[in-house]
């Protein structure tokens, strides 16, 4: 296990990352995709209320539920990796 000193930790945690939330996926043909129009519905692989997977820089770090705050969509984190493991992971990947 790699040890992270305080200076390296401070630099790493101030780094901006991309956060994505995926609430499901499906497989459809390109033809079907191109035929989609306004109002069409695409079914996903998850059940309603199941929540989504939270990714940081393309790595899953937890799960969350969609909520609305001041007319904007947000995610309430339900489960997440331990902070030390997240920092260690990104340190070892050379974020």
Instruction: Tell me what pLDDT residue 42 has.
Output: 93
Instruction: Tell me what pLDDT residue 94 has.
Output: 67
Instruction: Tell me what pLDDT residue 5 has.
Output: 80
Instruction: Give the number of other Cβ atoms within 10 Å of residue 64's Cβ.
Output: 18
> What six digits make up the tokens of 36?
């989609």
Inter-residue contact 54 to 80 (CB < 8 Å): yes
Tens digits of residue pLDDT in 26-83: 999 999 999 999 999 999 998 877 889 999 888 899 999 988 899 998 999 998 888 8
0.85 exceeded by pTM? no
Backbone φ, ψ for residue 72 (5° rounding):
-120, 145
Distance spanning both ends of the chain, measured CA to CA: 17
> What six digits make up the tokens of 13?
């945690």
The count of C-alpha atoms lying within 13 angstroms of the C-alpha of 27, restricted to the half-sphere facing its C-beta, is 0
Question: Rounded to an integer, what distance in angstroms lies between the CA atom of residue 65 and that of residue 37?
Answer: 27
């Amino acid at each position: 296990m790699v040890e992270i000193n305080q200076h390296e930790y401070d630099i790493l945690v101030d780094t901006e990352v991309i956060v994505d939330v995926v609430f499901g996926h499906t497989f459809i043909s390109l033809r079907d995709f191109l035929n989609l129009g306004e109002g069409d519905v695409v079914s996903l692989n998850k059940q309603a209320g199941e929540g989504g997977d939270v990714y940081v820089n393309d790595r899953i770090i937890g799960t969350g539920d969609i909520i609305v705050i001041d007319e904007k969509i947000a995610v309430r984190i339900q489960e997440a990796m331990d902070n030390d493991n997240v920092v260690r992971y990104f340190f070892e990947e050379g974020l």
